[in-house]
Amino acid sequence: MNYKENYKAWLANPYFDENTKKELESIAGDDNEIKERFYTDLEFGTAGLRGIIGAGTNRMNIYTVRKATQGLANYIVKSGKAAQGVAIAFDSRRMSPEFADEAALCLAANGVKAYVFESLRPTPELSFAVRELGCIAGINITASHNPPEYNGYKVYWEDGAQITPPHDIGIMEEVKAVTDYAAVKTMAKEDAVSQGLYEQIGAAVDDKYIAELKKQVIHWDSIREVGKELKIVYTPLHGTGNLPARRVLKEIGFENVYVVPEQELPDGEFPTVSYPNPEAAEAFELALKLAKEKDADLVLATDPDADRLGVYVKDGKTGEYITLTGNMSGCLLAEYEISQRKETTGLPKDGKLIKTIVTSNLADAIAEYYQVELIEVLTGFKFIGQQILGFETSGQGSYLFGFEESYGCLIGTHARDKDAIVATMALCEAAAYYKTKNMTLWDAMIAMYERYGYYRDGVQAVTMKGIEGLEKIQQIMTKLRANPPKEICGYQITSFRDYQAGTVTELATKDVKPTGLPKSNVLYFDMTDNVWMCVRPSGTEPKIKFYYGIVGTSMEDAEQKAQAMNQAVTELVESMS
């Protein structure tokens, strides 16, 4: 059926409720809106669903959630592991509790027990719960940092990481095979509860999760010494981080934690920000105002599902607050965790530092300095989780730290997704440690630059919405793949990685070798002077992203080179558009 036929079918089918039909009737004269809602099914990708909330096959609603869950249930049943059950969490977004229950009741109707959190919880706690409860899978209802009109549905497997091959492909095929919405199974909640197929979880899992986080503390002595002096401003941005972040900081000894009152309570409308993203300066406006009032040492913000952490630190010399990019905070934590583990207990001979391919090469320098192996994986924290699973199953490899440029990292292996709660805890611990050395976190950052070089990294994200936007993104990738540039910003391209083809081509010799990573629609350009650029379509938003990195000899030199590279990327994007 075409989009008009799909639209009419939803209006005529008694399976869809009256509120859904009223919403669809309200757009009867808007052909473009009807097309956007019905030209395709909301795609179940390698991480699950994400889309605008509303009626239609290309929207997040109870019917698309049920359909996705039916496919997941079919895959679980065929795997023979239905008895293990599925853990389900949700965030503060519109319809999140409702979507969580719809997923739970579909699973229950298929004979798969659902363990559902009683109220909103962070993404990393869902990852932890999957392994703690011995579940075969997990579902998290969240759209992370997207605008308020979005929601999403992330799927995890029994290792606690988001689904990777072969499970992602298998689940996607099962979801696609569900073509009749009315054939999807569900049941009444009271029946699911009485049959032992729906169980609420909460405090007991919280306690175990927090206990695991506290095991990661290295310098209890530093916290005892200065924890009562350190001043911390924190905002959960109306999301899930408020209770767990405050709890863990209090329990390890930080007493001066000031939460931004306007952003403390969960609210899916995100009334104080247009975009609840800790990467955005706007998200910090209220927090920085409070920080100046309290003379805070550091300012922290977690995104709505609390898997990503944004950071501002105070420069002790100027009193100004300086933003740390995800690369900067990730490298700062990597340096702290690895250096202090080396100092206190020594590093394992098979220690591993893991980063994604779009993450700063400063991580490579840190790994080389401490003589630990650097592992590079595709974008997506699930690939870092996959490496941890490999260490466990093979008995070879000790996980030290893993992070990606998009403000996500993991300390410890209690979860298999990025964890902004443990990152919050660790960054405050690091601030306390450096304070005992008469250093701020910014001083520690400068010390890293002096040791390794002044690495600067950036990203330009170009939004291209709708059907035409998706086509344009693919055209840009096709052009770059067919005719890769010879130089960018005066830096010669030395090698060209096409992760879709699985090849690395050395331009000087024309030698071709495999990337060694799974195939993905990503292009990577290595250049002279340790400069690089990577291009990839976003997996969760209608965007194409251009990542790049340079190395300078000083702050000023790095700034000049970064600005020049930024301009060169802008010109490249314009030439592709």
| Cβ partners under 8 Å of residue 80, min gap 6 | none
DSSP string for residues in 382-406? HHHHHHHHHHHHHS--EEEEEEETT
Task: Provide the residue type at 85 as one letter.
Answer: G
556 burial via Cβ count (<10 Å: 0-12, 13-18, 19+):
exposed
Dihedral sign of CA atoms 473, 479, 481, 482 in order = positive
Residue 461 pLDDT grade (very low, low, confident, very high; cuts 50, 70, 90)? confident
Strand order in the sheet with 198-201: 48-52, 150-157, 137-141, 86-90, 114-117, 198-201
Whether the bond between 166 and the residue before it is cis, its omega within 30 degrees of 0, is yes
* 553 three-state secondary structure: coil
Please provide residue 313's backbone torsions phi and psi, each rounded to the nearest 5 degrees: -125, 150
The fraction of the chain above a pLDDT of 90, given in percent, is 90
Q: How far apart are CA 324 and CA 338, in angstroms?
A: 19
pLDDT at 331: 98
Q: How far apart are CA 461 and CA 440, in angstroms?
A: 32
Q: How far apart are CA 572 and CA 491, in angstroms?
A: 14
Whether this prediction's pTM lies above 0.85 is answered by yes
Which tokens in the block code for residue 239?
Answer: 């999301």
Which tokens in the block code for residue 451?
Answer: 């040791």
Q: How far apart are CA 323 and CA 325, in angstroms?
A: 6
Residue 144 contacts residue 237 (beta carbons within 8 Å): no
Helical segments of 13-89, H only: 18-25, 31-38, 62-79
Spell out the domains of the chain, with CATH numbers in brackets.
40-201 (3.40.120.10), 209-452 (3.40.120.10), 454-576 (3.30.310.50)
Quote the longest CA-to-CA distance of the chain.
71
Q: Tell me how far CA of residue 234 lies from CA of 210, 268, 325, 343, 450, in angstroms.
A: 18, 19, 17, 30, 29
Question: pLDDT at residue 542 above 90?
Answer: no
Residue 96 contacts residue 268 (beta carbons within 8 Å): yes
Residue 46 pLDDT grade (very low, low, confident, very high; cuts 50, 70, 90)? confident
Which tokens in the block code for residue 437?
Answer: 């050395």
Residue 88 contacts residue 115 (beta carbons within 8 Å): yes
Question: Hey, which residues are catalytic here?
Answer: 144
Residue 540 pLDDT grade (very low, low, confident, very high; cuts 50, 70, 90)? low
Q: How far apart are CA 110 and CA 117, in angstroms?
A: 20
pLDDT at 575: 82
Q: What average pLDDT score do residues 553-560 get?
A: 96
DSSP string for residues in 77-98? HHHT-GGG-EEEEE-SSTTHHH
Residue 131 contacts residue 140 (beta carbons within 8 Å): no
What would the pLDDT profile of 85-144 be if each residue is shown by its tens digit? Answer: 999 999 999 999 999 999 999 999 999 999 999 999 999 999 999 999 999 999 999 998
Residue 224 pLDDT grade (very low, low, confident, very high; cuts 50, 70, 90)? very high
What would the pLDDT profile of 274-309 be if each residue is shown by its tens digit? Answer: 889 999 999 999 999 999 999 999 999 999 999 999
What would the pLDDT profile of 354-405 be if each residue is shown by its tens digit? Answer: 999 999 999 999 999 999 999 999 999 999 999 999 999 999 999 999 999 9
* 496 three-state secondary structure: strand
